[in-house]
Structure 1
Amino acid sequence: MANILVVEDDNSINFLIQTNLSLIGHQVDTAFDGHEAREKIETNSYDLILLDIMLPGEDGFSLLKKATDTPVIFLTAKSDVSDKVKGLQLGAEDYIVKPFEMVELIARIDVILRRTKKSEDFLVINNVKIDFLERGIYKDDLLVDCTPQEFSLLEVLAINRNITLRRDKLLELAWGYDFEGDSRTIDVHIQRLRKKLNLEDYIKTVYKIGYRLEVKR
């Protein structure tokens, strides 16, 4: 997995990001002000930097210029289009405005790490292999007959492994914003995946909330 630096002066946000990225399996380093961030950027190698703009000591725009070879996602409360344009023109890969949902951040991170070849091409759970590149699922090295929608659902769970996802969020991520079905669709597809892949002990039901794919880090 990737080595990620989180630069955020808000302790609660910094901790939330660090905790969730660690659950997925990333190595996470943190900084809480511009000076600390500059020192870490200059002395360490990272696969990705999550960077706030308004920081004590030195702002994110200035720090971005120091991270010339590292992809950067801005995380900021500055929602003005001019700030977003400035950040992207300076070389940021993406720009996310606070408040944001962790699943959105994780999805954006995954896109960048796949493009830079810093993410895994597959995930193995017990005797099941999820191939993200080929969009195939293998059980005991044999290709399992799964629908594209079943793969999409398992992919979302895998990318957000060890994190509980609400049913409505699973619908949004795996089916899309324009899907008109209800949450029972999720339950049916979960049962199919459990049965086909013998993942009853790994795809956990979180009572009245949704589901979580539990994977050892």
Structure 2
Amino acid sequence: MVEVVSDSDIESVQDNFSYFEAGAPPAGKGFEELIQKGDPRKDKDALRIWKKVGKGGVYEYLILGSAPYDVETFVKVLRDVDFHKKWDKHCEKLEVIRSEGSTDYIYWDTKYPLWFSNRDYVYARRYRKEVDGSHVFATRTTVDENVPEVRRKIRVLDYFGTYALRARENADVTEYVYSFYDDPRGRIPKSIINWAVSTGIPGFMRTLYRACDLLTKEES
């Protein structure tokens, strides 16, 4: 069986740390910087975001960040499907369909504003903890005959996202590289999609940080 998320996908995620160490994606890759808040390589709480035009005119995004949380806490917030339902107000439904080794196959139904249909996803998410203590995720949409498309929801067929995370030496700080491409389909103009995502990323990262606070409180 062909893996939805391959070994080479995982290896390429690990390579994304080179962007972090350089402080930016390489020149000539077509990225345009959107936001710069501090320096993720030095500051405890910093965020830099770039975009470039991807397939069909939908932007791809690259995010370099640092967050004042233990990396194990950050990773658990990203991995734990049940906990996700506590902090994501847009989550209508989220469940693991099945697991195969280090890959989880997941169904996710996410709420859109009232005048738009919900989007739902079936995706494979592969996770690996590296020998150096860093963590990598790669996620790609797939098709599962046991999870057919649902009326009044639009199935997202083209999503790919990655996270590379590691602990900063001698500090409770997570350094991360997050990249994704997400085509929600439907009749929403690409200009609206790109504007909404570009302005929404900082808010999403703040939501993740609040989830880290919540998890820390629950486990204390």
TM more than 0.5:
no
| Higher gyration radius (CA) | 1
Q: Which has the higher contact order (CA 8 A, sep 6+)?
A: 2
The TM-score, its normalising length taken from structure 1, stands at: 0.23
Structure ranking higher in helix proportion: 1
Structure ranking higher in strand proportion: 2
The TM-score, its normalising length taken from structure 2, stands at: 0.23
